[in-house]
Amino acid sequence: MEKDQSVYELSVNEDDAKQVKDHFEENGYKGLHKLLVKKRDQWVDVPIHVALSGSLGAGKSSFINTIRGIKADDKIGAALNYGQTTIEPIPYSHPNKHYLKFWDLPQLGSRAFSKDLYLKNINVNRYDYFLIFGKDQFTENDFWFASQLQALNKRYYFVCTHVDKHVEKALEENKKLDPSDVQSKTLNTIRERLSKSVKEAKVKIDYVYLITTSDLRKYDGPKLADVMIDDLSERKWEAMALTIHVYAKGVMHQKRRALQKRVWIIALMSGLENACHIYGLSFYLDLDPVIAEVQEYRRQFGLDEASILKIARTLDTTVESLKHASAFKTNYSQLADGGLLSQYKTLSVYDVADGITQSFSPILGGLIGSNTSFGSTYHVLNRLLDMMETDALRMIEYVKYRSAEI
């Protein structure tokens, strides 16, 4: 189904569009491509600071490694310091985005980190939000810290780890019952118990996230990843959405939103000085930025060959079997020169290109009138986004089915 034309304006950052429009009116095409590349890639340089607190053994280091997609023995891995405690806030950068840092905070209670100096010593105003980790329960120090954050109007989330062990034990003890019912009941019991303890400590709470740090696709891992994206300001949520790779529906929707907001930039780039006549098209087109963009879509949605192979191995199946079972429609040939050109030629772009261009004219002014490929590229990229998001969601459902998860 085609998207309503009125949606197109909502997919543009107004400040970015104004800067591009003003640049064109003042300088013409000089330096315009460089500005558009800067706007496309600016999410990489947006700083995000996530703080993790909690008692020893609560799973902070494991979470930091999993959310970054690396192992503890990696050069940039967070060491699993069993029996040791962090003595100062330690930052761990994401391997694909240096400015996204996960900070392992020192444990409260030591002489070096007493309550009266703790907030100052950790530089509490540095962080965008806080994850408070507990293994089986939350401690007095956790509640005290949350109350201080609440007083400062900071965002924080309670996260319980090692939930898989409780679920496995419950399944073992109730083999004759439906596994889905057992898991659901176990999770509800844990969440109710922990929520009650937090409320009794008079700390504000909306939800307790139950996860296993070994696999963030399970239990509340997807919900936690989603809120970690959604509760950031506009620039930061886009950066977080395009950085973390938790294979879950909510995260894929967030990625789609973030990628959608840069389609207009690539559409403009496709009609600049390198655009040329291509047989079968009625407009000039530079295909290079379009190819680069759709390959980024593929990577973001986990549809590249390396990502699919990794998933196939976890299910003990082949890549081709996984694609077939997931009704997979994305293939490399569609995203290379010839395949992309066929998208332009066969997806009825001529019926919608003028309407798209007219929708953007008030936003981008004269820049649109001279960019004959804008509407067509905008349409093609949106169709490819639809296709790849759908493929990712189908694969998630299939993996869920095969893994017998709720």
User: Tell me: the pLDDT tens digits for 231-254?
Assistant: 998 889 999 999 988 889 999 999
pLDDT of residue 19: 93
| Per-residue burial over 325-350, b = 16 or more CB atoms within 10 Å of its CB, e = otherwise | bbebebeeebbeeeebbebbeebebe
Q: Which amino acid does the sequence have at 281?
A: L
Instruction: State mean pLDDT over 255-281.
Output: 89
Averaged pLDDT of the chain? 85
Q: Give the least confident one: 4-8, 19-23, 326-330.
A: 4-8
Torsions phi, psi for 12 (to 5 deg) = -125, 135
Instruction: State mean pLDDT over 183-205.
Output: 92
d(CA 76, CA 173): 40
Q: Give the least confident one: 112-126, 303-317, 327-341.
A: 327-341
The helix (run of H) or strand (run of E) holding residue 276 is: strand 276-277
Instruction: State mean pLDDT over 359-379.
Output: 84
Number of C-alpha atoms within 13 angstroms, CB side, residue 348?
Answer: 6
CA-only gyration radius of the chain, Å: 24
Asked if residue 83 lies in contact with residue 135, where contact means CB atoms within 8 angstroms, the answer is: no
- Tally helices (H) and strands (E) across the chain: 18, 8
Q: Which amino acid does the sequence have at 136?
A: D
pLDDT of residue 240: 94
Structure tokens at 221: 């891992």
Between the CA of residue 297 and those of 191, 303, 330, 377, 384, what are the distances in Å? Answer: 36, 8, 11, 15, 9
Asked if residue 279 lies in contact with residue 369, where contact means CB atoms within 8 angstroms, the answer is: no
272: which DSSP letter? S
Using one digit for the tens of pLDDT, what is the confidence trace for 290-303? 999 999 999 999 98
Residue 101 has pLDDT above 60, yes or no: yes
81: which DSSP letter? -
Nearest to 106 by CA among 137, 60, 157: 60
Residue 35 has pLDDT above 60, yes or no: yes
pLDDT of residue 189: 93
pLDDT band at 402 (very low <50, low <70, confident <90, very high): confident
230: which DSSP letter? H
DSSP 3-state assignment of 104?
A: strand
Nearest to 84 by CA among 63, 114, 64, 104: 104
Using one digit for the tens of pLDDT, what is the confidence trace for 56-93? 888 898 999 999 888 766 656 565 554 455 578 999 99
Going from the N-terminus, what domains does the chain have, and what CATH number goes with each? 5-30+262-402 (no CATH), 46-238 (3.40.50.300)
Between the CA of residue 154 and those of 129, 131, 150, 157, 261, what are the distances in Å? Answer: 6, 11, 6, 10, 28
Asked if residue 347 lies in contact with residue 379, where contact means CB atoms within 8 angstroms, the answer is: yes
d(CA 47, CA 273): 33
Between the CA of residue 204 and those of 60, 209, 225, what are the distances in Å? Answer: 22, 14, 20
Handedness of CA 34, 35, 40, 45 (dihedral sign): positive
d(CA 330, CA 390): 10
